[in-house]
Structure formats: C-alpha cells, structure tokens
A and B are shown apart, each in its own frame.
Chain A
Amino acid sequence: MNIVVLVKQVPDSSAERSLRSDDNTVDRESANNVINEMDEYAIEEALKLQEAHGGEVTLLSMGPERATEAIRKGLQMGPDKGVHIVDDALAGSCALATSKVLAAALRTLSPDLILCGAEATDARGQVVPQMVAERLGAPALTGTRKLTVDGTSLTAERQTEEGYEVLTASTPAVVSVWDTINEPRFPSFKGIMAAKKKPIQTLTLADLGIAADEVGATGASTAVVEHSKRPPRAAGTRVEDSGEGGLALVEFLSSEKFV
C-alpha cells in the first residue's frame, strides 16, 4: 500500500505569530517554523500501516524553500522520501489554490491512501482534506480517531460534536486525523541520520502544468484587506485566598449577574 502524507510547515503556535504589514501573509521569517502538529499523527498512522501492509510512505508539502526542513524532520520518523512543491508564484495562496496544487501533485504520485492532519494550526481551516478529495474524485474520511484497513476497504471512526460516526470507503481515499488516533514516535538516532540521505524531489508549478496566475496572491479567491493586533485583555482584580477566596469569587459572579 503506497501512502502519501500531506505535511504543512507552520509557525510554532507557542510563540507570538503575526501577519506581515506589506502583503498580509504570515510572517514566517521571524517565526520558529515547525511541522504542523496533526501531520505528525498522520505520519505515525502511515508508518503503522506500512509496517502492517508494506509499500512506501512519501511526504508531500507545498511551501517556501524552508518547508524542506519540515519534510526532513518528518522523514526522521521513518518515511521513505519526500516531495516538495516550491515555486515563488505560490506565495499567498488561498485554500482553493493550495488544494489544486496538492491534488495535481497527488495525481502524479497516485497513492492508495492520502493521510493528512485534520487541521493546520495557523489558519485552522479544516478544508484542505475535503478540497483535495473533491478534486481527485476520491472519498474523504475526515476527523478520524481510528482507522482500520482491510485490503482496499477502509473503516474510520470520525469524532463529531455529538459523539462519533463510523465511516467506510474504498481506496484510493483521503483520511484526515486528530491527535486522538495514535501517539507519534520520536525519531531514533538512526532515523535522524537516515533522514539526511532520503531523497526529496522538488516540483515546480510548470512540472504540474499549473499556470502561475492560477495560484498565489494573483490567483487567490480570498484576500486579506487589513489586519490588526487585538488589544490584549487587561487583567482585572486578583485576590489571594486566605480562607475566603470562594466567597470573593461568588461575590464577583453575583456582581456580574452570573449568580
């Protein structure tokens, strides 16, 4: 079973993140860029499936030059190779364009299974998995917390607001995962060394037959008009509990009409 895992490089969510003032895109220069957390769970799931069913695991990312770091990092966990779509024209791509480019690359790779995170931590769109599936005419089992593969048939448990749903589909399919699905492995020393030598193929828009004006800021279907920092919340009253903290709390709740 050949699996492609979609991997996005994102600015670390534990640090301050900003949009640039010139072109309204994410400030990636000053950020500490990391692999999108949910994508690590997708990689782990791919490796488990590979252990059980054989085949190859490929990481696919679209992003600037430095996104290759995220691919290399992911390869340390054990996948076989990477594919990096990099092209200056891609800067500022909307979700529609991103999915178009990813789908074009996936057509050339024709995997049995496409695994990805359910959500990227920067834009938090939760849209790319379904968009990619729609473009490929493939089923999407999204938001999964459990996946079972039996030949070409897939069964997944999808987390919902109310509980969960059991889904079925056949390969080729897109499966997006939450962090409840597994516990990603830490790269071993051997894995880290091996990753240095694993091939990462780069693809440009021309390689994929996509025109520069279909993507990036030029081809975007959405635009940021302006952005501003939200004023930080001002801290309010703070009391030390010296035996009456609970009473003070209720007094506050009552003054705000919550009690």
Chain B
Amino acid sequence: MAEVLVLVKVADGKVNKATLEALTIARSLGEPAAVVVGAPADVVETLGEYGATKVYAADAEELRDYLVAPKVTVLEQLVREASPAAVLIPSTQEGKEIAGRLAVRLDNGVLIDVNELAVDGTATQVVFAGGTIVKSRVTRGIPLVTVRPSSVTPTPAPTTPAVVPVSVTLSDADKAARVVERVVEAKGARPELTEASIVVSGGRGVGSADNFKLVEELADLLGGAVGASRAATDSGFYPHQFQVGQTGKTVSPQLYVALGISGAIQHRAGMQTSKTIVAVNKDAEAPIFELADFGVVGDLFAVVPQAAEEIRKRKG
C-alpha cells in the first residue's frame, strides 16, 4: 500500500487533535506516514497509537527559525521520494499556507478545509457559512488536502512506527521570512477553541469584559472552551483570538452555547456544523433560535447564573 503523508502539528509539546483526525482519515487511504518537522521526539508514541506506521522526523534547529517554507521543503522532498497516495495537513492558518506553497512547488491541485476524503480521492467541503456541501477532486496530481478540525473522531489503532530521519537543505528563499520571536499567550487550563468538544460563546449581549466572567464560569463548569462573537471581540469584551465565525475560528463541537449572540450569518459560518446548539437570548426573534436545538428566551444575566448554580448543585 502506498504511504499517505500526514503533517504533524504540535502544540504545547503535544500532537494536536486535528493531526490525530488526519491520521484516522489517512488509514482508510493507505499507510499513514507522519511527518514531524522540528518537534520533540516524544510525540512518536502518540503517532503510533493513532496508526502511523512510519514517522519521518526532520529535526534540524534551523527548521524552526523560518515561517512555513522549511516545512514545505520537507514535504516536497518526501512527496518526490516516497510517491505518496495523498498528503493530509491539519487545516490551521499555517497548515493552509504550507499546502498552498507545496501546491505551487509540485504543480499539484490543493483542496482546503476538507471534512471527508473518500478512497477514490473525492473530498467533501462545507462552504458558504455552512450552507453548501461541495464534492471536489484534485485533477492535477495527488489529493493534497487540509483537513478541517473536528471532522472525524480520532480513533486509536496502535502500531510501532519506524522512525526515519529526514535531512533537508534549505534554500535561501526558504530563509527569507524569519521568525524572530514566538509568544504564547496564556489561555489557562481551558481546551483549545477549535478542538474543544464544548464551546460556550458570548456576544454583544454580555455587555462588558467584566461580564464575560459569566461566560467563562459556564464554560468551566461544562469543561469547555470560551468563544466570542465579533461584536464582542470588536468591543474589547474578549481577546480577538477567541472570535468564532467567518473572520474568526470555525468550530464544530458536540455542544455550542450562544449567550447574547444574535446569530448573524457571519457568526453562523463558524459554528453552524456544531452537533448540538443551545442559545440564550432575550429577543425571541433572534436568528440564532432558527438553528438552536434548545433555546431560552430570557435575560442571560438571570438564566446563566441560575444554570451555573444548578450545575454546581448537580455535581455535588
């Protein structure tokens, strides 16, 4: 069976969930071969647990010092040497950018934000704020896709991967955009927004940065991540990186709770594919109710504290 290359994304020293999902998809297409660029060796075990039969490890100090291009060079070299059946990349900003550059180098079509990839290479994408489902194919080259987070449930399939060291020579062009500093902004103990199985978001209705404590409290009680509408981030209620929607993150959790969010189409673009949607809004006409599985028409400042109290009580 041909190899299927999966580019590994490591965050906080751990393989991220989207990578495990990509490995899960890769297994149905061929032999999953994980590609680790400039990351710690201890991720190999996790990759094996999720079915990677091989781990290509490119670990040179300088691979970390430049934006995107070195990872493209590693992948380009592996595609040329291993003739894989497909290349899967987690669909983060960086992942999409790597896929784009790789597509140019290989003159190979690229499909972005793919939810499913069938054995025959047909990809499923959900576009236009979740309103349209597209089936598409790469017609030049192999399927080169970025896999949208929360598309599948990662399932283990333990193997012991063979680790294959990879060495690459970076060109001057690879070194043209240098990363001089990386700053991790504290997100506390909450799960990563795009990976969380529960997301609790607040909108303009929350009213202030201080009131966002209510949103955080409910999120913490449910073990979820906190999100925000653009009106909330633009008003400075919550940091921009937590924005959900067309110009923010796309989330697809098991449960999405919208507090004081009207449900504008651009917000829906980022959360419409959530499994269960719950909304609290004092306006019975708010469009968010059109997609909510459960809605409470009421003042969030009464409903949310009461709900929090009840959850605490039930938890004992």
Contact = CB atoms under 8 A, between A and B. Distances in A.
Interface of A: 13-19, 37-38, 94-96, 99, 118-119, 121-131, 133-135, 137-143, 158-170, 173, 178-180, 220-230, 232-233, 235-241, 243-250, 252-254, 256, 258-259
Given A121-B246, A249-B280, A225 B122 contact: yes
A14 B280 contact: no
Contacts of A244: 306
Given A168-B180, A228-B132, A245-B280, 11 more contacts: A119-B247, A124-B127, A126-B93, A141-B177, A167-B177, A221-B138, A221-B139, A222-B138, A224-B136, A249-B303, A258-B254
19 contacts: A17-B129, A121-B246, A126-B93, A140-B68, A160-B182, A161-B93, A163-B184, A163-B185, A167-B178, A167-B180, A223-B137, A226-B135, A238-B297, A243-B302, A253-B278, A258-B255, A258-B276, A259-B311, A259-B314
Contacts of B302: 241, 243, 245-246
B217 interface: no
B306 A247 contact: yes
A259 B223 CA distance: 10
Interface stretch (B26-34, B46-54, B102-110): B102-110
Contacts of B105: 134
Interface of B: 11-12, 67-68, 92-94, 96-101, 103-105, 107-113, 122, 126-141, 173, 176-185, 187, 192, 194, 198, 222, 240-241, 246-247, 254-255, 264-266, 269, 272, 276-278, 280, 284, 289-299, 302-311, 314-315
Contacts of B110: 95-96, 127, 221-222
Contacts of B96: 125-127
B8 to A, nearest CB: 15
A161 B92 contact: yes
Given A130-B97, A166-B180, A221-B109, A230 B198 contact: no
Contacts of A235: 289-292, 295
Given A230-B126, A254-B314, A238 B295 contact: yes
A143 B93 contact: yes
Contact of A130 (B100, B185, B247, B305): B100
Contact of B303 (A158, A178, A224, A245): A245
Would you call the interface of chain A mostly helix, strand, loop, or mixed? mixed
B127 A123 contact: yes
B106 to A, nearest CB: 10
Contacts of A238: 284, 289, 292, 294-297
Given A126-B96, A238-B289, A259-B311, A162 B185 contact: yes
B294 A222 contact: no
B163 to A, nearest CB: 26
B109 A96 contact: yes
A162 B176 CA distance: 23
A113 to B, nearest CB: 14
Contacts of B310: 246-247, 250
B100 A95 contact: yes
A179 B247 CA distance: 8
A168 B139 contact: no
A60 B93 CA distance: 24
